[in-house]
């Protein structure tokens, strides 16, 4: 899940994962893949999906699978 502070000057317009700049999306993906790689865990981003927050609004998130 990616959370954005409501008062963020840089990301205040991000309401959906598709609103992220492609460079930011790529860097986030690389972070999570490399974080797991350091721990010797094969990890692959499989896509984005919506999850409900407590208030029912959709929230962007990423799904991932541990590669066997």
pLDDT at 9: 85
pLDDT in tens, 6-60: 788 888 888 877 888 889 888 888 888 888 888 888 777 777 655 554 344 444 4
Write the Ramachandran bin of 29: left for phi over 0, alpha for psi from -120 to 50, otherwise beta.
Answer: alpha
Domain boundaries, the chain: 17-66
In three-state secondary structure terms, 5 is coil
**pTM to 2 decimal places:** 0.54
């Amino acid at each position: 899940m990616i959370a954005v502070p409501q008062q963020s000057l840089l990301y205040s317009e991000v309401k959906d994962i598709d609103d992220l700049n492609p460079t930011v999306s790529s860097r986030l993906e690389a972070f999570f893949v490399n974080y797991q790689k350091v721990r010797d865990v094969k990890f692959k981003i499989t896509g984005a999906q919506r999850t409900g927050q407590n208030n029912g609004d959709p929230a962007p998130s990423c799904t991932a699978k541990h590669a066997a």
